[in-house]
Amino acid sequence: MSSWIRNKQSKVKQMMTNIEERITQMASCGLSPYVIEERLGMEHYTIHIKYHQALMNGYVTAPASGRVHTLSAEEKAARKRERAKERREEKKAEAKKQAEAPKRVEMTHEERLARRREYDARYRREHREEYNRKRRELYHAMSPEKKKALFERLVEYKRATYEQRKDKINERRRELRRLKKEQANAEKQKAAQGVQAPSDTENRLLLSA
């Protein structure tokens, strides 16, 4: 452990010791935890959590000192009002947090999978170069046996994917062939009309003459 860390820990320990001594001294005078928190600038209702032992050490000697401090009726009422105000503020903050929190959208398992696939595809498109570079680095770092196993898994995956989507793939192929055939027919008709146009023009000229 470095000297800087040891010095830092010793400073923190010394600081904690000073705070504990002050708490013990105030508690020995009979001051209530609430008053001690007020004088030390601490958050209310936390002294028992952080400095319970120091507080109890002071209260052990408090009755013998004859300087026990008790809250008056006004102080008790003020403390009660302050605590009630804090609770109202906490409830308002929690209600505001709940209102601003995004609502959870109910989705089926298939919808979640589709949304995840869309996110992955968008991420790969946006980071294509980095994604491909990492894949190449991982592939070149593999042993020949792992490369062969990877190739076999890839072939098996493509075969299984084709079997699952065979009908859709064949339907898409038929659709592409139909579109190409329609395009070819349209081009033939256009070419035929272009060939017939000059003859029609000549016939009209002869008739007019």
Domain assignment present for residue 110? The answer is no
CA dihedral 116, 117, 122, 126 (to 10 degrees): 100
Q: Which of 44, 77, 92 is the last residue before a domain boundary?
A: 92
- pLDDT tens readout for residues 163-205: 888 888 889 899 999 999 999 999 988 888 876 555 555 555 4
How high is the pLDDT of residue 206?
A: 46
- Asked, for residue 199, whether it belongs to a domain, the answer is no
Query: Which ranges constitute the DSSP H helices of 29-127?
Result: 33-40, 47-50, 52-65, 73-100, 109-126
Instruction: Convert the pLDDT of each residue in 57-82 to its tens digit.
Output: 877 776 544 444 555 677 777 778 88
End residue of a domain, out of 60, 92, 124: 92
What is the tally of structural domains in the chain?
2
Q: Is the domain of 139 the same as that of 78? A: no
pLDDT > 70? residue 46 = yes
The residue segments making up the domain with residue 38 are: 3-92
Same structural domain, 47 and 123: no
Tell me the HSE value of 14 on the side-chain side, using a 13 A CA sphere: 6
Do both 133 and 54 map to the same domain? no
In a domain, 73, yes or no: yes
First to last CA, the chain: 113
In this structure, how many other beta carbons lie within 10 angstroms of the beta carbon of residue 50? 15
Regarding whether 121 and 78 lie in a shared domain, the answer is no
Residue 102 maps to a domain: no
Same domain, 145 and 82: no
Residues 123 and 85 placed together within one structural domain of the fold: no
Residue 107: alpha-carbon gap to chain centroid: 18
Encoded tokens for 208: 């007019």
Q: In this structure, are 74 and 138 located in the same domain? A: no
Whole-prediction pTM: 0.29
Q: Let me know whether 125 and 83 are in one domain.
A: no
Residue 61 lies in a domain: yes
- b or e along 123-161 (b: 16 or more beta carbons within 10 Å of the residue's beta carbon)? eeeeeeeeeeeeeeeeeeeeeeeeeeeeeeeeeeeeeee
Instruction: Based on the fold, state whether residues 55 and 123 are members of the same structural domain.
Output: no
Q: In the prediction, which pLDDT does 15 show?
A: 54
pLDDT band at residue 209 using 50, 70 and 90 as cut-offs: very low
Tell me, yes or no, whether 88 and 121 share the same domain: no
Tell whether 205 is covered by a domain. no
33, part of any domain: yes
